[in-house]
A and B are shown apart, each in its own frame.
Chain A
Amino acid sequence: MKTASLVKLHLITLVGPPNSGKTTLFNQLSGKNFKTVNYPGSTVEYSTCKIQSKFGIDADVLDSPGIISLNPNSPDEEVSINSLYNHPEFGSPHLLVATVDASQISRHLLLAKQLIESGFNVIVALTMNDILAKRGFEVDENKLGEELGCGVIKVDGRSGRGIDKLLSCVKPKLNDDEIKERNSPHKVFENISKEKLLGIYKEIERIEKNVIVEIKNINAPNLLQANEKLKILNPTLKYGSNRPDELTLKIDKYLLSRRWGLVFFFLIMAFTFTSIFWLANPFMELVDELFGYLSTTAAGFLGHTWYSDLIADGIISGTGSVLVFLPQILILFLILGLLEDTGYLARGAMLIDKPLSKIGLNGKSFVPMLSGFACAIPAILAARTISNRRERLLTIFIIPLMSCSARLPVYALLIAFLTPPDKAWLAGIALAVVYISSIIGSLIVAAFINKFNKKIINAVDSSSFILELPAYRVPKIKNVIRNSFENAKQYIYRAGPIILVLSIAIWFLTYFPNHSPEVNTTGLSHEEAVHLIKAERLSTSYASDLGKIIQPVMSPLGMDWRIGVSLIAAFAAREVFVSSLAMIFKVTDEDNLQSSILFAMKDAVNEETGKPLFTVPTIVGLIVFFIFAMQCLSTVAVSKKETGGWRIPILQIIIFTSIAYVFSLITVNLLNLAGF
Chain B
Amino acid sequence: MKTASELNFGERAIISDVDNSHPSFRRILEIGFTPGQEIELVNSSSFNDPLAFALRGTLIAIRKHEADCIILS
Contacts and interface: CB of A to CB of B under 8 A. Distances in A.
Given A256-B43, A350-B50, A466-B62, A192 B26 contact: yes
A197 B26 contact: yes
A236 interface: no
Given A201-B34, A465-B66, A249 B42 contact: yes
Contacts of B30: 68-69, 71, 110, 197
Nearest to A363: B50
- Top 5 A-B pairs, shortest CB-CB distance: A354-B47, A469-B59, A256-B43, A350-B61, A107-B32
A466 B27 contact: yes
A346 to B, nearest CB: 7
Contacts of B32: 106-107
Interface string B41-63: 01111111110101111111111
A351 interface: yes
B46 A259 contact: yes
In terms of DSSP, what is the predominant structure of the interface of chain B? mixed
A252 B43 contact: yes
A363 B49 CA distance: 11
Nearest to A69: B30
Interface string A130-167: 00000000000000000000000000000000000000
Interface in B7-66: 18, 20, 23-32, 34-35, 37-40, 42-50, 52, 54-63, 66
Contacts of A357: 63
Contacts of A353: 45, 49-50, 63
B61 A242 contact: no
A455 interface: no
B33 to A, nearest CB: 9
Contacts of A104: 56-58
A464 B68 CA distance: 13
Contacts of B31: 68, 107, 466, 468
Contacts of A69: 30
Contact of A242 (B23, B48, B52, B57): B57
A80 B52 CA distance: 27
A500 B22 CA distance: 50
Nearest to A261: B46
A275 to B, nearest CB: 24
Contact of B18 (A194, A243, A355, A471): A194
B58 to A, nearest CB: 5
A65 to B, nearest CB: 16
B44 A258 contact: yes
Given A197-B30, A261-B45, A471 B58 contact: yes
A192 B30 CA distance: 11
B27 A468 contact: no
A644 B20 CA distance: 33
A241 B20 contact: no
A242 B20 CA distance: 24
B35 A198 contact: yes
Interface in A71-112: 71, 73, 103-104, 106-107, 110
A244 B49 CA distance: 20
Contacts of A248: 59
A219 interface: no
A506 interface: no
A462 interface: yes
A467 interface: yes
Contact of A468 (B23, B49, B60): B60
A262 interface: yes
Most A CB atoms within 10 A — which of B27, B39, B49?
A: B27
Contacts of A198: 29, 34-35
B52 A469 contact: yes
B66 A466 contact: yes
A248 B40 CA distance: 15
Nearest to B9: A258
27 contacts: A71-B30, A106-B56, A106-B57, A194-B20, A194-B25, A197-B26, A197-B30, A197-B34, A198-B35, A242-B39, A242-B54, A242-B56, A244-B57, A244-B58, A244-B59, A256-B43, A256-B45, A258-B45, A258-B46, A258-B48, A259-B46, A262-B45, A354-B48, A355-B47, A466-B31, A468-B60, A469-B61
B32 to A, nearest CB: 4
Contacts of B28: 466
Contacts of A249: 42, 54
A466 B45 contact: no
B71 to A, nearest CB: 13
A242 B49 contact: no
B38 A242 contact: yes
Nearest to A469: B59
Given A465-B62, A468-B59, 17 more contacts: A73-B26, A103-B57, A107-B56, A197-B30, A242-B39, A248-B59, A252-B43, A256-B44, A258-B48, A259-B46, A346-B61, A353-B63, A357-B63, A464-B63, A466-B62, A467-B62, A468-B61
A110 B26 CA distance: 13
A469 B40 CA distance: 14
Contacts of B29: 194, 197-198, 201
Given A194-B25, A197-B29, A350-B45, A464 B66 contact: yes
Given A259-B46, A354-B47, A465 B56 contact: no
Contacts of A471: 58
A469 B60 contact: yes
Most B CB atoms within 10 A — which of A256, A261, A350, A355?
A: A350
Contacts of B45: 256, 258, 261-262, 350-354
B35 to A, nearest CB: 7
Nearest to B60: A468
Contact of B61 (A106, A261, A465): A465
